[in-house]
Amino acid sequence: MTKKLFAEFFGTFWLVFGGCGSAVFAAGVPDIGIGLLGVSLAFGLTVLTMAYAVGHISGGHFNPAVSVGLWIGGRFSANELIPYIIAQLLGAVAAAACLYTILNGAGAFSAEGPGAFATNFYDMPGYHGRSYSMVAAFLAEFLLTAFFLIIILGATDKWANGKFAGIAIGLALTLIHLISIPITNTSVNPARSTSQALFVGGEALSQLWLFWVAPILGAIVAGIIYKFLLQKNDNSTAA
C-alpha cells in the first residue's frame, strides 16, 4: 500500500508540475509561447508518461475523480479510496508549492485575474473575453470527466489491449484540455484544482466546490454507465 500511495503522490505531482507548469511558465511567452495546444499536450503527456512509469504500481489514477469512478465501476477497493485521494492531494499541493517557489524566484507570481496560477474559474471573462456561467462550467466539467472515465474504464478493461491504455488516456486528457481550457481552464481533477486555488485564494477558493462536485459526479455516472451498460461479461461473446 505504501508503494501505491507514493506512486499516486509522484504521479499527481508530475501532472500538476508539468501541466500547470507549462501554463504558468510557457503558455504566454512572446513569440515562442506554447499556447492552448501546448498546454493541452503537456497535461496529456504527464498522464501518459506516469501511466507507464508507475501505473503498474498504483493503477495510475492521479486524480480523485478517477479513483471514485474506478471504485463505482468495480475496479477499485473502497478501503483504498481515501488514502489515494490524500496522496493525490499531497502530490498536487507539493507540485504547486514548487511552481510557486520558482515563480517567486523571478518575482512573477500573481493572484490577479481569471486563471491566475493556472486556477480554474467560471463567471469571469476568460479567453477571447467570453465568460461562461456556473451552469455551463458545471456541465462541461461533468461531461468531460464522465467521458474521461469511460475511456479509462474501457482502455484498462481486461478485454482491451492494455499495452496502449496509457496512450489512449493521455490523448483523451489532451483532447479534454483542447475543448475546455477556454471554458474553465480545465479541471476534471479536484486535486489539480485544489493545489492551485490554495496559493491564489479569494475567488479561486470560493469557486473550488464546482471543480470537486462536477468531476466526481461525472465520474460516478461514468462508472455506473460502464459497469451496467458497456462492461463485457465473461460469458459474453464478441460481436
235 is a domain residue: no
Write the CATH number for 86. Answer: 1.20.1080.10
pTM of the model as a whole:
0.94
Residue 151, pLDDT score: 97
237 is a domain residue: no
Residues 91-109 have a mean pLDDT of 95
* CA pair distance 121, 131, nearest whole angstrom: 9
238 is a domain residue: no
Q: Could you give the number of structural domains in the chain? A: 1
Residue 31, pLDDT score: 81
- Report residue 65 as a C-alpha cell: 475523480
Q: Where are the alpha helices (DSSP H) in 34-133?
A: 35-58, 64-72, 81-104
Whether 186 shows a pLDDT value over 90: the answer reads yes
Residues 178-199 have a mean pLDDT of 97
Domain boundaries, position 180: 1-230
